[in-house]
Homo-oligomer: A and B are copies of this chain.
Amino acid sequence: MKTSLLLALAFCFIGASARAQNARPPRIVSPEIEAGQKVTFRLRAPKAAEVVLQGQWAKQPVPMTRDADGVWSIAVENTPAGIWEYSFTVDGLNVLDPGNPALKPQREPGKSILHIPSTPPAPWDWQDVPHGTVHVHDYQSKALGRQRELWVYTPPGYESEASKKFPVLVLQHGSGDNQQTWVQHGKANWILDNLIAQGKARPMVMVMLDGHPLGATGFNDPAKRGAAMEAFQSELFDDALPLIKSLYRVETDAAHRAIAGLSMGGGQSLTVGLGNPDRFAWVGAFSAAPLSPESAQKFLADPAAANAKLRLLWIGVGKDDFLRQRNEDFVAALKEKGIHHEWVLSEGGHSWPVWRQYLSDFAPLLFTDAK
């Protein structure tokens, strides 16, 4: 090859980078995490009059300061360990951190994620243990007649087992989230990896559906909620669980099937789980929306059947949760009827730090008497 052509290639190579660097302002690093859990947040917004940081770890928004180049910043010292949501408010408008690729999957995306690991590691922190796999299935829902997405977790070692079958936990998100949120933000996969590595939870398959079968307004509109619940159940039974059965080595009897969820997903879990004791013997309600009055009436009407079939009914809610009273009412009804259950009134509100802890506490209780 001619030397001139090689040189031309070399200059092009360098030139491409110079061009890219000239075309853009300096890269903003945000969030920047330094020793002492000092976290600096930055946003380039030269025309803004006011920028504040909204961080889930703090009770109040914190004003940010503008520099001469129009970059707003704030350094937060001693940020507590945890997985936190945050965003910026720019002259009243909520915006994600454009410097941070970690976004909370939401129906209406509005939060970035800051992850400060704990010492020693929390169940939701990354640890160097064997890891499972998360699988994303796009499928044509027969129940709904349109494209849907389903996330599935298989435990470490699943691929190398030739014939072993695994129990199944259906794990549902809340109204503002979607089928990705339990993994991407809740770290359900890392929680199970860590619990399994410690011998605290049995290897299981987790299945996460989009809980809004009728679109965003279904469960939020009282007039549509019944139809939305029916559609959720149809899709679970007619699409999702058959798909899982066809592609994964799973047990399919009630003793090997659990359903749990948070908020809206808790209401779905109570309604579908308690309404189908021949399909689910393990039910978890995390800060749950109440089950429908008809479902509650039917379930509470036969305590003997409930106690005979249910292996676990686990209910947890935070002391500061706006759904606390409703959960306490349901637990009062269970007590009145003598229906076995586990009840946790924890610290915290209606938020992900509570739900990660609940999954960490709930998963070890599952499938304990199943073969």
Residues of A in contact with B (beta carbons under 8 Å apart):
1-2, 5-6, 8-10, 12-14, 16-21, 27, 45-48, 90-96, 98-101, 103, 105-110, 126, 128, 131, 133-140, 147, 159-160, 175, 178, 183, 189-190, 216-217, 220-222, 225, 246-248, 289-290, 292-293, 296-297, 300-301, 322-323, 325-326, 329-330, 332-333, 336-337
* CA gap between A247 and B130 in the complex, in Å: 13
Which of B18, B134, B190 touches A136 (beta carbons < 8 Å)?
A: B134
Copies of this chain, how many? 2
The 6 listed contacts between A and B (C-beta, < 8 Å) are A6-B296, A9-B329, A13-B289, A27-B216, A98-B109, A101-B105
Which of B10, B108, B136, B138 touches A293 (beta carbons < 8 Å)?
A: B10
CB distance from A108 to the nearest CB of B (A): 5
Which of B18, B135, B220 touches A17 (beta carbons < 8 Å)?
A: B220
7 closest A-B pairs by CB: A10-B293, A134-B136, A12-B326, A47-B92, A159-B247, A1-B300, A126-B147
Known: A135-B133, A137-B131, A297-B1. Contact between A14 and B222, CB under 8 A?
yes
Known: A14-B222, A19-B322, A133-B135. Contact between A101 and B92, CB under 8 A?
no
Which of B109, B140, B189, B190 touches A103 (beta carbons < 8 Å)?
A: B109
A333 touches B5 (CB 8 A): yes
* CA gap between A137 and B154 in the complex, in Å: 11
A290 touches B13 (CB 8 A): yes
CB distance from A286 to the nearest CB of B (A): 15
* CA gap between A95 and B110 in the complex, in Å: 10
Q: Which chain B residues lie closer than 8 Å to A301 at the CB level?
A: 1
Known: A9-B326, A133-B135, A139-B131. Contact between A16 and B290, CB under 8 A?
yes
Which of B18, B90, B147, B336 touches A5 (beta carbons < 8 Å)?
A: B336
- Interface residue SS majority, chain A: mixed
- Cβ-closest chain B residue relative to A149: B134
B289 touches A16 (CB 8 A): yes
A137 touches B128 (CB 8 A): no
* CA gap between A2 and B300 in the complex, in Å: 10
Q: Which chain B residues lie closer than 8 Å to A48 at the CB level?
A: 91, 93
- Cβ-closest chain B residue relative to A183: B136
B147 touches A138 (CB 8 A): no
* CA gap between A17 and B263 in the complex, in Å: 12
Which of B20, B27, B217 touches A27 (beta carbons < 8 Å)?
A: B217
Which of B93, B221, B326, B336 touches A1 (beta carbons < 8 Å)?
A: B336
* CA gap between A159 and B248 in the complex, in Å: 8
Q: Which chain B residues lie closer than 8 Å to A18 at the CB level?
A: 222
B137 touches A135 (CB 8 A): no
Which of B20, B135, B297 touches A134 (beta carbons < 8 Å)?
A: B135
* CA gap between A290 and B13 in the complex, in Å: 6
A106 touches B110 (CB 8 A): no
* CA gap between A92 and B70 in the complex, in Å: 12
Q: Which chain B residues lie closer than 8 Å to A9 at the CB level?
A: 290, 293, 296, 326, 329-330, 333
CB distance from A274 to the nearest CB of B (A): 13
Known: A1-B301, A16-B326, A103-B109. Contact between A95 and B95, CB under 8 A?
yes
Known: A108-B98, A136-B133, A336-B1. Contact between A13 and B292, CB under 8 A?
yes
* CA gap between A20 and B19 in the complex, in Å: 50
* CA gap between A73 and B255 in the complex, in Å: 52
* CA gap between A353 and B20 in the complex, in Å: 21
B135 touches A5 (CB 8 A): no
